[in-house]
Amino acid sequence: MPDAAEGRPALAESTGIGARVTALRSARGLSLSELARRAGIGKATLSGLEAGTRNPTLETLYAVTSALGLPLTALVAAPGPIRGSAAEMALLRVFDDGPVTYELYRMHLPAGATQTSPAHHAGVTEHVTVFAGVLRSGPLDRPLRAGPGEHVEWPADVPHGYEAEGPADVEAALLIRYPHPPSP
Binding site for a second copy (CB under 8 A): 1-8, 10-12, 15, 17, 19-20, 23-24, 26-29, 38-40, 55-59, 61-63, 66-74, 76-80, 82, 91, 93-94, 96, 100-101, 103, 120-122, 124, 178-181
Using the contact rule CB under 7 A, the part of the chain among 30-38, 131-139, 150-158, 175-183 near DNA is: 30-38
CB of 133 to a second copy, least distance (A): 25
The entry of a second copy, DNA, none near residue 50 (CB within 5 to 8 angstroms by kind) is DNA
Binding mask 31-70 for DNA (x = CB under 7 A): xxxx-----xxxxxx-xxxxx--xxxx-xx--x-------
Give the integer Cα–Cα distance in Å for 18 and 53. 9
Could you give the C-alpha distances from 138 to 135, 160, 174, in angstroms and in order?
A: 10, 5, 12
Give the integer Cα–Cα distance in Å for 70 and 31. 17
Could you give the C-alpha distances from 39 to 23, 24, 36, 77, 183, in angstroms and in order?
A: 16, 14, 5, 21, 40
CB of 100 to a second copy, least distance (A): 8
Q: Pick from 2, 175, 23, 147: which is nearest to 91 by CA?
A: 175
Please say whether the beta carbons of 112 and 157 come within 8 A: no
Binding site for DNA (CB under 7 A): 5, 31-34, 40-45, 47-51, 54-57, 59-60, 63, 184
